[in-house]
Amino acid sequence: MKKNLLLNSEISYLISQMGHTDTLAIADAGLPIPRNVTRIDLALTRGIPSFIDTLKTVLIELKVESAVITSEMKQKSPELYEEVKKILKGIRLEEISHEEFKLQTQRAKAVIRTGEFTPYANIILRSGVVF
């Protein structure tokens, strides 16, 4: 049995395949996921799993050099915005429009869909290198 915290085999495999600057998105329950992008659907019911729990777990395994969120998160979900900033302390955080965010998900290796119902609870993580 896997020893580390991340037990989901699809996410673990995806992270093991990522190279420098590859991207992975973590999304709320409502973000449209492009057809050409792998969907890892974790959503069980409203709020389960949460966006924050999923983000924290992915960050245990994935080296991240930068991240992208929407400027709408800051406006519509300020508490979530502050929590994301705290979790990503020391990682460059870029803010773009929700429309641009949806376009950028088309280049992601995958989108992890959570059960989150908080507006604009979405992030794109850009892989770094461990050396």
Give catalytic residue positions: 20
Question: CB within 8 A of 61, min separation 6: which ones?
Answer: 4, 5, 6, 11, 12, 15
Chain centroid to CA 48:
15
Q: Hey, which bits of the chain come out as E strands?
A: 23-27, 38-41, 64-70, 92-96, 110-113, 123-127
